[in-house]
Amino acid sequence: MPVLPWVVPTAPPRDTEVYVFASRFETRTLWGALCFLARTPGVWRQIARARGAYGATLKAQPLRRTFWTLSAWESADALKAFAHSGAHRPTSRALAPQMRDASFATWRTAGDRLPPSWAEAEQRLKQ
C-alpha cells in the first residue's frame, strides 16, 4: 500500500493549535482509481506551496479503489482556500463522478503533535 511521506511546506509556529483534515475516498471503478492516481502529482505540488499548509500525506490502496488524505493547516480558511484553488479545484470536480463514497473529519491539535497518526485519522473518519 503506497503512502506518500508527511511533507512539511511550513512548520507551524511554536505553541500553536492547528486544524487537521482527514478524508477517505472510494472510487466506483478501477479506472476511477487510476484517474485519482494520475491527478495526485498536481495536487501534491500545490500542497508544497500552499499558504497555511503545515503538513500532508496520502495513503493509497488503488486495487481496492480507496485513498486517504491527512493534512494539517493554519486554519479552516487556509484549507478552504487550498481546496478552491490551483490543481485541487479542477481535480475534485473532474473526479466527483468517479466517487462511490467519501468521508471527512476535522479536529484541532497542538502543532508539536504533528504529524497526526493514521490510526487516529481512520478512527475519526469512522465516527
Name which of 54, 72, 48 is nearest 121 in CA terms: 72
pTM beyond 0.75: the answer is yes
Name which of 8, 3, 4 is nearest 74 in CA terms: 8
Residue 69: which CATH number?
Answer: 3.30.70.100
User: What's the CA gap between 116 and 12, in Å, rounded?
Assistant: 14
Contact (CB, 8 A) for 58 and 40: yes
Q: In which domain, by residue range, is 66 found?
A: 3-126
User: What's the CA gap between 68 and 4, in Å, rounded?
Assistant: 11
Give pLDDT tens digits for 49-108.
999 999 999 999 999 999 999 999 999 999 999 999 999 999 999 999 999 999 999 999
Give pLDDT tens digits for 45-66.
999 999 999 999 999 999 999 9
Give the total number of structural domains in the chain: 1
